[in-house]
Amino acid sequence: MNAKTLNILAIVALVLVVATLWEASRSPAVEFEFNAGQLLVPDLDPGRVDQVVVKKGDDEVTLQRSGRSFRVASLNNYQASNKEVNSLLSQVTDIRCAAKVSDSDGAFADLGVAEDSEGATFARFLDADGNEILAVVVSESKEGVQHVRLAGSPTVFRTEGYVSLRTRGLDFIDKQLLNLQRDDIASVQVTPAASRPYTIENGDDGVKLVDVPDGMKVKGTEPDGVLGAVTYLSFTDLKPAADVSELEFASRFVATTDAGAEYSFELAHDEEADKWYLRGKARYTGPDINTLTVTRGAEGEEADAEIEKNKAWLDAAKATDQFAQKHQGWVYEVGSWKAKSMTKAFDELVEADDGKPDKVAASHILIPWAGADRADAEITRTKEEARTLAEDLLAQVKADPSKFEDLARENSSCPSAEKGGDLGEFAFESMAQPFSETSFNLEVGQIADEITETGFGFHVIKRTK
């Protein structure tokens, strides 16, 4: 073999090595001895992943790394939820193979794992240089059977369990705008587009609509519903603000917390499409966080209380800053029922004062019969026997009202028996109608002259507030 031939062979060998390395970097198909239940992907370092592309038919989502998180390229680079991205990575690395089905790429189409197979999902993971770290093709499930393969490998496996990789951009973002605890909300201020502005306060005495006109009263629990609109506020779609510049944001809703966090929302209604949109901002209105201290000499519970309050202010300052940064320049589509709560007119919260209270408090003794609603299985008395017992108990408490609590503890089949029959406060519509009618028509401290029948049994009722 002469020198020229040796050189040619060396060049050919080098080309083969380079081609092999390039193919290995493009798709890390791993050859291994198959064992039922083994992982499809033996190893994947999440830190290497710079871009993820998941495609199924016309649906496609691209996730691009941005610092320590990802953004959804198909949604104008909106911030992706780390939780959802990690879930996708876990789904892929947790795929287990139940059986080896084929070692021939000629079977890809029949098994539904060709890249263009109908219903197949193709997921690619790339590094910062654009090199493919890993690519997986998952078939559509047919009659409970699903196939999967690694790109670059001819081997197809039947999956152990169902694999579903999401392919919509909205699947990878946190659609929760705000989730305030009701007890942390100090007040909300509402300025509907076509109604007078109003304020709802949330204090130790509960939810209160401010400045109710003379001759009017609050309508049921309507203000509670308005205040609760921000206890879980989420969206269904989003757009850059520039794309909906024609919308008129005519209504305003501002929620303030005890810790000084202020969340302000402006709402618009697209009447033609019957869709509601909002845009939000936030600011911190509490004391300067750089000057927070604990009173000199404070100890024990006093010091703990001050530390806890300082922490609440610091958390509020951080939360409002993060909110403002994340949502600046975005407009969100929200459910109509939520938007209508946030833009409710003042007149929908009040009604003519008929002299009756919005809520009362009452205690009762419940005597059910066998087959009554929610009656315990051990209740065997007939309806007539239950009536007789209830009337006997009524006679006893009428003769000596001080016995009410003891008789309730001994005889009532309601969980309130442990508290002497005390049900606390309730609105008219929150109880069975006959029960509410009796309770609301009693004077405070009065025991009803007759027993009241509902689907739960017979009641001896005493109004307490």
pTM for the model: 0.71
Of 385, 382, 409, 386, whose CA–CA distance to 397 is shortest?
Answer: 409
Whole domain around residue 126: which residue ranges?
3-172
Same domain, 161 and 241: no
Between CA 392 and CA 395 the distance in angstroms is: 5
pLDDT in tens, 287-337: 998 988 877 777 777 778 888 899 999 999 999 999 999 999 999 999 999
Question: What CATH number did the domain enclosing 446 receive?
Answer: 3.10.50.40
Same domain, 189 and 336: yes
Same domain, 314 and 391: no
Give the pLDDT confidence score for residue 36 in this predicted structure.
86
Cβ(115)–Cβ(207) below 8 Å: no
4-12 long-range contacts, Cβ below 8 Å, gap at least 24? none
Same domain, 17 and 119: yes
Give the pLDDT confidence score for residue 14 in this predicted structure.
41
How many domains would you assign to the chain? 3
Same domain, 213 and 108: no
Residue 276, strand partner residues: 269, 334
DSSP string, 190-208: EE-TTS--EEEEEETTEEE
Give the pLDDT confidence score for residue 61 in this predicted structure.
96
Query: For the chain, which ranges sit under pLDDT 70?
Result: 1-33
Share of the chain above pLDDT 70, in %: 93
Same domain, 322 and 194: yes
| Residue 289: strand, helix, or coil | helix
Give the pLDDT confidence score for residue 296 in this predicted structure.
73
DSSP 346: G
Same domain, 34 and 86: yes
Same domain, 159 and 193: no
Same domain, 418 and 440: yes
| Residue 221: strand, helix, or coil | coil
Residue 217, strand partner residues: 351
Cβ(58)–Cβ(145) below 8 Å: no
User: Of 352, 384, 418, which closes a domain?
Assistant: 352
Give the pLDDT confidence score for residue 134 in this predicted structure.
92
**DSSP H helix total and E strand total for the chain:** 9, 25
User: Of 172, 194, 221, which closes a domain?
Assistant: 172
| Residue 453: strand, helix, or coil | strand
The two structure tokens encoding residue 53: 């592309």
Give the mean pLDDT of the chain. Answer: 90
User: Of 318, 352, 386, which closes a domain?
Assistant: 352
| Residue 53: strand, helix, or coil | strand
The two structure tokens encoding residue 4: 């020229």
Same domain, 348 and 370: no
Give the pLDDT confidence score for residue 32 in this predicted structure.
52
Same domain, 101 and 55: yes
Provide φ and ψ at 69, rounded to 5°. -135, -170
Same domain, 112 and 241: no
